[in-house]
Amino acid sequence: MTEPQRGLRRGLTQYGDPEFALFLRRSFIRSMGFSEAVLERPIVGIVTSPSELNTCHRTMGELVEAVRRGALAAGALPLAFPTISLGEPYLFPTSLFLRNLMAIDVEEMIRAQPLDAVVLVGGCDKTVPAQLMGAASAEVPAVVLVVGPMLTGRYRGERLSACTDCRRFWARYRAGELDAEEIRTIEGRLAVTAGTCGVMGTASTMACLAEAMGLALPGSAAVPAVHADRLRIAEATGALAAALPGSGRTIRAIVTEKNLENAMRVLLALSGSTNAVIHLAAIAGRLGLPFSLRRLDALSEETPVLVDLKPTGRGYMEDFHAAGGMPALLRELAPLLHLDAPTIDGRTLGAVLAEPAREPVDREIIRPLSDPIAPRGGLVALFGTLAPEGAVLKRAAASPELFEHEGRAVVFESLEDLARRIDDPELDVAPSDVLVLKNAGPASPARMPEAGYLPIPKKLARAGVKDMVRISDARMSGTAFGTVILHVAPDAASGGPLALARTGDRIRLSVRERRLDLLVEAEELARRREAWRPPPPPERGWARLWHEEILQAPQGCDFRVLRANGREA
C-alpha cells in the first residue's frame, strides 16, 4: 500500500505528470521566500474568515499570526487562506441562508488544497457551525479556535453587552420608557470591543459546544477576544495543529454519538441558544450520527441549568471566563458526561478533566450540580397537531405562567404582514392571545430569519405586557428571551399545519405534556389544505439551490446533498 502524500505533494493538480505538477507548485510557492527545508514540512491550513463586514472578527489578523507562530515553531508550514465570512447583523435576508454556502466553501477549499490539518478560526454565529460542517465533510484533521467574546460596556453604572441588552433596551424604548437620545447613547455602548456577543448567545454557545465535543483546546471557548490569553491559546492551537497531520483525528473520528450527547448536555446546562439545536443536527447529519429532538428533550429532563448568564440569567461571558469557563462547567457536569469521549489532543474528556483546576470556581456564575439554577435543562421539544415533526421552546427564557396556556391565534401571514400590522392601534389583540408568524421557515422566501421573537404589539407593551406566547417556523437570536416557540416543523412554506392556522383559531400549549396543538377540526383543516398553495420557487442561483435542497429544522437546515453519503441517520 502506498503512503498517503503529505505537504506540497498532497493533492497534486492533474496534468497527467505528477512530478511536473509538484515542480510547478514548488516553483510558485518559492516566490513566498520559504526555505526548501520549510517546504518539506506538513502543511497546516489556517481557515480564516476576516471581513470588514464581520466586526466580531476584528481580531482575526493577530489571532492568525499567533496560530502561525505556534504551528511554525512546532514543525509545520502554516498557510492561511480566507473563506466567506458571515457577520450576523449585516446579512440579508438572514445569515442562516448563507451558512451552508460557507460550509461548502470551507469543505471544498480544505479538500482542494494541500492541507494535512486545519485550524478553523471563526466566531460570529454561523461561522463556527459552517466551519464544523465543512471540515466534518472534508475529513482532514481539524481543531477549532474561536475569536472569543467581547467585553461589556457601561451605561449609567450598569454593565451591558450585545445583544440581550440590545433587545432589553429596545423593548423599553418601544414601551416609551426611554427617549430617542437615550437609546442612541445606548447604541454606542453595547458593542465596545472586538469579539462575539458578550452573552450566552449563539456564538458563545457554539464555541462552548465545540469545546464540549473535544474539538477545541480545553478552556478556550470563553476567553475574551481582547485578552492576552486568547493569543496564547491561538499559539497553542497552532502547535497542536502541527501534531495533527497523520493522526487521523478528523472531526468524523473525534465526534461520536458520545461527544454529541455531551454537547447536548452542555447546551442544556448553559441554557444555550436554540440555534445550536439546528447546528448540532446539521453537524450530526454530516457525520451520519442520529440526532433527535425527543432525545434532546429526554436529556433536558435530567440535565440541570448550572450557568447563570444572560439572556436567561445575570452574568456575561467575561464572568463565565473568570468563573472558570468550560473546564469548570464540564467538571461539574462530569457525572452526566461520557468521559471516554475522545478529544482533539488525543486524550479522553475524562483525562482532560482530571487535570486539577487552576483556580477556585465562582459559584455565583457556575453552580455545583448539587445546587443548580434550575433542576431541568433550558430547552424543551414540543410535538402536536401544529408541529408534527417538532418545535423548540427555550424554557429557561420563558414565563412559567404561560407554560400551560390556551389562547386565540392572531396570525401574521409573513414578515411583511407582521411589520405592517403588529403596531397598528386597530389590531385586534389581547394579552392572552397567541401570536403566530407563518412563512418564516427554511422553505420560505424569508429563509428562516431570527424573527421568532415577535415584538409585543406596541399598544400591549405600553400597557405593561412583557410576554405572550409566540409561535413561528422562524428562529430566534440566542440573545433573546420570552415564551417563544420556534422551528415549527414542517414549516408553513412546505405545507406544514402551521400554513393552515388562521386568526381566531384556538391554540394550546402544554409544556408539561410537551404538546403544541391547533384546536381545529380535521375536516376544516382538509378544506383549508385544498386552498393552500406553496410559494413559487426562486428562478436561479443560490436561492434556487437552497429551495431544492433545504431540509427542515430537525435535520439542521442542511442541504440534502451535503449530508453524509450513505450514512444517513
- Binding residues (CB under 6 A) for ligand FES: these are 56, 88-89, 124-125, 162-163, 196-197, 201, 203
Q: State the minimum distance, in angstroms, from the CB of residue 153 to ligand FES.
A: 14
Cell numbers given for 429:
389583540
At 82 the three-state DSSP class reads strand
Quote the least distance from Cβ 171 to ligand FES, whole Å. Answer: 18
Q: Least distance from C-beta 294 to ligand FES, angstroms?
A: 30
Cβ 428 vs Cβ 482: under 8 Å: no
Find out whether 213 and 129 touch, Cβ atoms under 8 Å: no
Grid cell in block for residue 456: 409585543
Amino acid symbol at 60: M
Closest to ligand FES by CB, 203 vs 381, is: 203
Give whichever of 200 and 488 is closer to ligand FES, judged by the CB atom: 200
Q: Which is nearer to ligand FES, 383 or 481 (CB)?
A: 481
Q: Quote the CA–CA distance of 137 and 457 in Å, as a whole number.
A: 44
Would you say 124 or 380 has its CB closer to ligand FES?
A: 124
The continuous run of DSSP H or E covering 471 comes out as strand 469-472
**φ, ψ for residue 372, nearest 5 deg:** -75, 170
Q: Identify which of residues 89 and 538 has a Cβ nearer to ligand FES in the complex.
A: 89
Q: Say how far apart CA 414 and CA 242 lie, in whole Å.
A: 50
Residue 16 zone, left/alpha/beta (φ > 0; ψ -120 to 50; rest): left
Q: How far is the CB of 422 from ligand FES (least distance, A)?
A: 24
Contact by Cβ (8 Å): 455, 429: no
CB of 60 to ligand FES, least distance (A): 12
Closer to ligand FES by Cβ: residue 407 or 478: 478
Q: How far is the CB of 367 from ligand FES (least distance, A)?
A: 25
- In sequence order, the β-bridge partners of residue 392 are 381, 486
Q: How far is the CB of 350 from ligand FES (least distance, A)?
A: 31
> Residue 486: in which H helix or E strand, if any?
strand 484-489
Strand order in the sheet with 142-146: 77-82, 43-48, 117-122, 142-146
DSSP structure string for 308-342? -BTTTSSB-HHHHHHHTHHHHHHHHHGGGS-TT-B
Task: State the nearest-atom distance from the C-beta of 196 to ligand FES, in Å.
Answer: 4
Q: Where are the beta strands (DSSP E) in 23-116?
A: 43-48, 77-82
Name residues whose C-beta falls within 8 Å of residue 58's C-beta, 6 or more positions apart in sequence.
194, 195, 225
**Cβ nearer to ligand FES, comparing 124 with 374:** 124
Amino acid at the residue 253: A
- Least gap, CB of 125 to ligand FES (angstroms): 5
Question: Is residue 471 within 8 Å of residue 434, measured between CB atoms?
Answer: yes
Q: Nearest approach, Cβ of 197 to ligand FES (angstroms)?
A: 3
Measured from the CB atom, the residue of 122 and 377 that comes closer to ligand FES is: 122
Nearer to ligand FES, 273 or 494 (CB): 273
CA-atom Rg of the chain in angstroms: 24
Q: Where would I find the beta strands (DSSP E) of 157-222?
A: 158-160
* Nearest to ligand FES of 57, 395 (CB atom): 57
Minimum CB separation from ligand FES for residue 512, in Å? 33
Instruction: Tell me whether residue 178 is exposed, middle or buried, using C-beta atoms within 10 angstroms of its C-beta: 0 to 12, 13 to 18, 19 or more.
Output: middle
Residue number, 162 or 386, with CB nearest to ligand FES: 162
Based on CB atoms, which residue is closest to ligand FES, 196 or 220? Answer: 196
CA distances from 273 to 103, 191, 268, 279, 367 (A): 20, 19, 9, 10, 19
What are the residues facing 149 on neighbouring strands? 196
Contacts of 551 (CB under 8 A, 6+ apart): 285, 442, 557, 558, 559, 560, 563
How far apart are CB 56 and ligand FES at their closest, in Å? 3
